[in-house]
Structure 1
């Protein structure tokens, strides 16, 4: 880590950081974590934090909870938080699924899974974040109408993601094929490298279905 990142970790972790193992028993109250009531976006695998910081800066009315295992990435995001004066970012260190388990049902406005490890070897596919059981967990934490947005530059993983997401009974996609690249998703170093190497980037955007209305006009169970 650079000296600036080390300094940011030392200064800002007590205010903006949390360790997943400390909250894994849950429930984790997002409003208490951020000190306000606001829609929450979960960023799974925030990497060096550039995309998370850029989105949070452009979207001050929502709170961004980033989870990452790579300490230099956590430190870099904290440095960006301090540099840009961002108050709507919190950074969690640890396993993303443990963090999701700790969050209340229906508590998230969006979940972003941008360029996750593709685990390309067949014997490692079980380690992928986008698989049926994990998707069901993520979807359960989305509020009705909330968005699950994935992006990858691995064509085989993209097809696997789409098959899995299409198979979830409560996720719907407004796009008949791949989603167009949303303008709010910043271009990451992974995306730039993919373009340099001639690989296509695939976006998948799904919404948690809103319960149908009953005949009396009340929301269904």
Structure 2
């Protein structure tokens, strides 16, 4: 399984640190050319490699950490997203009418036709996401939701590899709505910094 993070702002860098902490290879890409991002990537760790957007999109699992309004530009980069898993780590503080009345991730899924989309890693602030998730005798929780159970299982496995405790919330229009920022309102589980104790 190969991984990429598209977007290298605060959230993208926080996620890159999570990969580096566990020595998991990940490609990072941003609007800037890879050589401009490479020094930051190298400073995070040797498993974090800056490449072009097109190279990043060759990964099996792609984490979207761009500003919400930019996801459609990323979606245009490939003619077909079949076989890809997209992890939506974005938050959309836009009016509901701009989302066709859908939860934000269901709206994003329309842009990435044929991909499997999972909402995840969006409810923690970047500083918390960047910190070691193994705390207080347990693991920091990440919430996941998707309309595809296999994709949820795959991203849950990645979350566990990264040291988090994944909690599945169900489909995008059900439990997923709890972590969707919509219409300038945060989802009910946004900013919830929860821990799951070891059994």
Instruction: Specify if TM > 0.5.
Output: no
Which of the five TM-score ranges fits, normalised by the shorter chain?
0.3 to 0.5
| Structure with higher helix content | 1
Based on CA coordinates, which of the two structures has the bigger radius of gyration?
A: 1
When the two structures are superposed, what TM-score results if normalisation uses the length of structure 2? 0.45
